Structure 1
């Protein structure tokens, strides 16, 4: 994980945005009063979607059950 201070981050902002998007790794920016984390928009959206899904009662268990199910046991017919 990349860590740098706010002055360094300011000087390299555009390259840090590219790095976060390409590597999907968070970048920690340390300030005098507090710290922040730079994430790609794609990663931020994925985090928010995950938080939303696990907030639905029973969804976490349903997902875990689906992950444990062998694909051969799944129906090949879809109700479209």
Structure 2
């Protein structure tokens, strides 16, 4: 019985190994793509949250074109 079982398993492996490997590669590739997308979304959220104060500060410091010169900051009365 063991010899027959071993022979059937080896025959099954010989016939289906390529299909099994292709399925495994496809599953791994799909998981990698899902992980990549999840990491990109997580990094985007962290970066956007981290740069939010910088963006707000830039809006606060924004001066209309023609209304400011570098000398104004030097000679400003504080």
Answer 1 or 2: which has greater strand percent: 1
State whether TM-score is above 0.5. no
Q: Which has the higher contact order (CA 8 A, sep 6+)?
A: 1
Larger CA Rg, structure 1 vs 2: 2
Query: TM-score if structure 2 supplies the norm length?
Result: 0.28
Answer 1 or 2: which has greater helix percent: 2
